[in-house]
Amino acid sequence: MSKLLAVLISIACAGGAAAQGVTANQILIGQSAPLTGANAELGKDIRNGALAYFKKVNDAGGVHGRKLELVSLDDANVVQRSGENTQKLVEEQKVFALFGYASATLSRPALPFVAKHNVPFLSPFTGADPMRVFDKNVYNMRASYADELEKIVEHFAPLGMKRFSIVYYDDVVGRENLAAVDRALKKRNYATVSVAAFKDRAKPDIEAGVKEVAKGQPDVVILTTLYKASSDFVKVARSSGLSAQMISNSFPGASPLAKELGDAGVGVVVATVVPPFAKASLPIVAEYRAAMDKQFGDRVYSFTSLESYIAAKAAVEAMRRAGPKLTREGFMRMLDGMADYDVGGYSIGFSPANHNGSSFVELMVIGKGQQFKH
């Protein structure tokens, strides 16, 4: 082979790598998230957890000498903007992978671009069934909402609480949540006693929803809505005299929900898909807290940013295993081979036929001062 031909091949290979968001000194990761608007706290938590881990890696020299850069575009929790952001990230900025979209409804517009350009889509922050159907490019690093809802029913049913209601959005994801609750109840010969189905995510009719739920005289009300809607529901329900146990799945984010509830949150139960961020005895939690303090310096922790930190760590491990010649295909092969990756007291596992990395669920109670306890 002539030297000229070798140089041309080298340039071509470098160009191909750059087109995948990888250069000699950088790996570009793209994210669309609600950084403004009603769900901004959740979006910022997702972004910040990843930033904290990426800084830790970059400070140590990066991944095979390449620094990680997260490009976060604001979608303000608007589905159309999420799709537009994805097109920009994939086709204009040519990111290596997508990471940490804040819900199933925001994630779904990304899927056509993911398929067309063979882009890895990492850790969409959702447990919704439509995002957990096997897709060779999508890697979920947390439990499903069905896992959470089963855990909720499993916990409360033996305590003599047999009357369950659910609050959900009347869309594809919300109806899947309703179906998951129905399945869990049917296993125990129970049935949902009442529901509140909100057709408008932006302006849910909370008072009407509370009235509909109250008709069933529930022992337990399961909330699967955004943190503002869930908080408003709890407050209106309490003021109207509804004494049922309130419990939320992880969708709104435990920390944003507790903050929004304030003093009204005491006693509300929240499902989480990572260990408590206060459990510093766990290696991954201690590592996360130190990285967050170094990045932001304000000791503000949350379940969501911990989840994002863990997801970022698993992604970087696959990049390391893929070696210096990083490609999307090689990266996804390494993820597929991570059958049991322990990030430090919490494990994630994938296979070529299963891209749902965890089924871990824990129930936490909001206490005074927005503290969480088992």
Same domain (yes/no): 152, 125: no
**CA-based Rg of the chain, rounded to a whole angstrom?**
21
Residue 256 falls within a domain, yes or no?
no
At 139-195, the pLDDT tens digits run 999 999 999 999 999 999 899 999 999 999 999 888 988 998 999 999 999 999 999
> Among 12, 5, 32, 17, which Cα is nearest to 328's?
17
At 302-316, the pLDDT tens digits run 999 999 999 999 999
Say which residue the tokens 């022992």 belong to. 219
Residue 258 falls within a domain, yes or no?
no
Q: Which helix (H) or strand (E) holds 193?
A: strand 192-198
Say which residue the tokens 């984010």 belong to. 253
Whether the pLDDT of residue 17 is over 60: the answer is no
Q: What is the pLDDT of residue 286?
A: 98
Whether the pLDDT of residue 14 is over 90: the answer is no
The amino acid occupying position 220 is: V
Q: What is the pLDDT of residue 118?
A: 97
Q: E strands, the chain, where?
A: 26-33, 67-74, 97-99, 121-122, 138-139, 164-169, 192-198, 220-223, 245-248, 269-272, 341-342, 347-348, 362-366, 372-373
pTM exceeds cut of 0.85: yes
Q: Is 374 exposed, middle or buried (0-12, 13-18, 19+ CB in 10 A)?
A: exposed
Residue 268 falls within a domain, yes or no?
no
Say which residue the tokens 């036929």 belong to. 353
Distance of alpha carbon 221 from alpha carbon 226, whole angstroms: 15
Domains contained in the chain, number: 2
Where a domain ends, among 249, 273, 302?
249
What is the secondary structure of 102-122 as a DSSP string? SSHHHHGGGHHHHHHHT--EE
Q: Which has more confidence, 370 or 69?
A: 69
Same domain (yes/no): 32, 131: yes
Same domain (yes/no): 133, 157: no
Range of the domain at 116: 3-142+281-359
Same domain (yes/no): 242, 160: yes
Q: What is the pLDDT of residue 18?
A: 56
**At 216, is the pLDDT very low, low, confident or very high (cuts 50, 70, 90)?**
very high
Distance of alpha carbon 73 from alpha carbon 64, whole angstroms: 27
Same domain (yes/no): 289, 344: yes
Q: What is the CATH number of the domain that holds 118?
A: 3.40.50.2300
